[in-house]
Structure 1
């Protein structure tokens, strides 16, 4: 894909990986509709990235709001070329102590939100004359289970299964599907769980560089799974 002039939708765009993805796509000449719940953060990002970035305040767990926005924004002649389902959250705890609302929030955001957004975009992509690309951001937790991550693992394993099935479903419609499984990355995710980032973690821009490489592959060439990890994941303080 030649990213120049292509239209991308990125969820969870206000910070971390989503902000890095937006920056990299715009630097390649694309335009980005950046979705997130925080209007202030989206507007601050627009100040940095310019008019090629369109902020869209959206809760991706609201399927009616997603349907209305996609219907009003896109058409068969004005279709998205790229969808990056990046929004997600993680809450950790023993299975018998994990609050129900935290379980439900993870399933709704990490899994149902991807379904809601994808089911609205796929018909537009099918009508697109260009080869399109859906990229789902899972986690290494979509491949490797750990104690106290039952809810997070369940949601990310779900993204893995959804992505594999979707890839087989739409490949002959000219739509690529790739699932990313990043390991520990220095984003706000860790701060939200009272964990500290450190210099041995991957950086958001490093993951964004991989994203650009995957998007720019030839139209009939698909990388459907990408696993990324730090070579040495330990904090320098632990060595």
Structure 2
């Protein structure tokens, strides 16, 4: 996909992988709409990034708010080429001690939030696909899952459930939307050096920028190539 002047929506854009991804697409010449819950954080990014960045305050767990945000971006910027579903959170603990609110928050954001944004974006992308024809991509959806969507982890049951669910959702819509000229990819990062989960990152953790670079590579792939899944793992030190 040619990203020059393309419209890219990134959820969870105020920090970590989302922030790095927004910056990478701006560097590629795209126009980026960053969704996040914090207006203050988004305002600071708008000052930093300039006119190419559109701040949108939105909690993706709110279905109506997500639809309004996606529809607003498509209307204001004239198109919707890429949706990066990155917003997520993790609250960990033993299954018998996990608060119900913590379970709900992870499912609502990590899984339902992706559904809300995708459901709103797809009609715009289908119309674009019809208008652009068979030789161009109507739209691209990238879902940022986790290695925890491939392997279970003790005391991560809710997070694992949300990310395993995201894997199934991604695989299903990839097959559903491909005939409409819409690409869907799911990215599974391992340990990343962010503040996610409230714990210090491992010394070998990957940088958010490395994940953003991979997301950009996936989206920029030739029209006839669909990279449906990517697993990213950190390197470890060599044995002496």
TM-score, normalised with respect to structure 2:
0.92
What corresponds to 1:122 in structure 2? 122
- Residue by residue over 1:153-211, the C-alpha shift from the partner in whole angstroms, topping out at 9 and shown as x without a partner, is 00000000000000000001010000000000011204x2xx21244110011111111
Aligned partner (choices 166, 186, 200) of residue 196 of structure 1:
200
Separation in 2, partners of 1:208, 1:73: 21
SS of match in other structure, 2:97: coil
More helix by share: 2
Aligned to 2:35: 35
- 2:60 equivalent in structure 1: 60
Q: Which residue of 1 aligns with 2:232?
A: 228
SS at match of 2:96: coil
Contact (CA 8 Å) 1:8, 1:32: kept in 2 or not? Answer: yes
Where does residue 143 of structure 2 map in the other structure? 136
Task: Indicate conservation of the 8 Å contact 2:145/2:188, yes or no.
Answer: yes
Of 166, 169, 186, the residue aligned with 1:159 is 166
Does the Cα contact within 8 Å between 2:93 and 2:156 map onto a contact in 1? yes
CA contact (8 A) 1:135 1:178 kept: yes
Residue 29 of structure 1 and its aligned partner are, at CA, apart by 0.5
Moved >6 Å (runs of 4+): none
**Aligned length in residues:** 231
| Other-structure match for 1:69 | 69
The residue that corresponds to 2:175 in the other structure is 168
Farther-moved stretch of structure 1 (65-74 vs 146-155): 65-74
Is 2:147 aligned against 1:147?
no
- Where does residue 209 of structure 1 map in the other structure? 213
Corresponding residue for residue 186 of structure 2: 179
**1:236 matched residue in structure 2:** none
Structure 2 spans left out of the alignment, 5+ residues: none
Structure 1: unaligned runs, 5 residues or longer: 234-238
Instruction: Give me the whole-angstrom Cα distance separating, in 2, the residues matched to 1:71 and 1:209.
Output: 27
Question: Residues 61-114 of structure 1: CA distance to partner in whole angstroms, max 9, x if unpaired?
Answer: 111122223334425x93200000000000111110000000000000000000
CA distance in 2, matches of 1:175, 1:65: 23
**Mapped partners of 2:88, 2:223: distance in 1:** 28
CA RMSD in angstroms comes to 1.7
What is aligned with 1:12?
12
Shift in alpha-carbon separation, 1:49–1:199, aligned structure 2, 3 A: farther
Answer whether contact 2:191 2:202 (CA < 8 A) is retained: no
Give the conservation status (yes or no) of the 8 Å contact 1:79–1:127. no
